[in-house]
Structure formats: structure tokens, C-alpha cells
Amino acid sequence: MSDRPFRILGVQQIAVGGADKTRLRHLWVDVLGLTPTGTFRSEAHNVDEDILTLGRGPHAVEVDLMQPLDPSGRPKVHQPPLNHVGLWVDDLRAAVDWLRAQGVRFAGEIGPGAAGHDIVFIHPRGNEQSPLGGEGVLIELVQAPPEVIAALG
């Protein structure tokens, strides 16, 4: 697989979900000391999230604390509690094209994410048409901005 036209550069984020993010916020902000840096709310994604930061600059990792706007709606951002892992990629379009050709199943298409970077999700499970998935884990591929590519590439 040396013809891979992209590189995974590092962890961009982890997303943790709960029915009520108040307890998550107490643990991650009050007890562990992460810094709140933003919020994101989307009816289409059924999410109300707090965005926290761990570290600085291009090495910073985002920690998203998510609760559903509608607990009975989809997606169920609180199930499983470790919702997804985000990975920086140096060329998102090339990655998607190449991975799709390898049989990877995606959950949707490339679009803007909560932090303003283009993203796409690898589906947790493969299917008949695209047999490769995240083996039970939702994986977010995130287009790294130039400063992250320079620092981590």
C-alpha cells in the first residue's frame, strides 16, 4: 500500500457523548482542567456540543463533549459514549478517493465540520458494496490546515 496518496498526521479530536453533558463538562473542565474554546449546535446532526482544547498550536487535540438535542433522534451522539476519533489528514480528497477504491465505506460525503475544517466519516461497519469500515468505531478524517501539515508532516 505504498501508493497511498495521503498521510495521517495525528489525532485531531476525540468526541465523547452523554445524555447530559453537564457531568462530562464537570469531569473534563472542572476536574481535568481542559480549556473550553467553543460550542456547536446542529439540528441536522442532533447535537449540542462543547468544544474543549488539550495542548496548544498544531499539536492541540480537540475534545468534544456531546449530548443529543433529541435523545430518541438520530444520530445518537451519546451512544456509544466514545462517539468518534478524528484524525488529521494532509489531503482529504485524495484520501477519500483512494480509500473508497480500497472498499472503505463512508457515512456521507466531505463537508464542513464543527471546527470549520472539511471532514468525512468512515462508517463504523462495512457493507456488501464497501466491505471495510471502522470495525465498530466511527472515524472522522479531518483536512489538516497548512500550519498543522507543516508541524506534523
Q: What is the mean pLDDT of residues 73-98?
A: 95
pLDDT for residue 2 is more than 90:
no
Taking the C-alpha atoms of residue 139 and residue 136, their distance in angstroms, rounded to an integer, is: 9
Query: pLDDT tens, 13-58?
Result: 999 999 999 999 999 999 999 999 999 999 999 999 999 999 999 9
Query: pLDDT tens, 97-110?
Result: 999 999 999 999 99
In a domain, 44, yes or no: yes
Residue 145 is part of a domain; what is its CATH number? Answer: 3.10.180.10
pLDDT for residue 85 is more than 70:
yes
Q: What is the pLDDT of residue 115?
A: 87
Query: pLDDT tens, 100-136?
Result: 999 999 999 999 998 899 999 999 999 999 999 999 9
In a domain, 83, yes or no: yes
In a domain, 1, yes or no: no
CA atoms within 13 A on the CB side of 97: 8
Q: Please name the helix (run of DSSP H) or strand (run of DSSP E) that holds residue 139, with its range, or none.
A: strand 138-143
Q: Which residue has the higher pLDDT, 62 or 153?
A: 62
Q: Please name the amino acid found at residue 127.
A: N
Q: What is the pLDDT of residue 153?
A: 81
pLDDT for residue 1 is more than 80:
no
Please say whether the beta carbons of 48 and 41 come within 8 A: yes
Please say whether the beta carbons of 136 and 125 come within 8 A: yes
How many domains, in total, are found in the chain?
1
In a domain, 3, yes or no: no
Q: Which domain holds residue 87?
A: 8-152
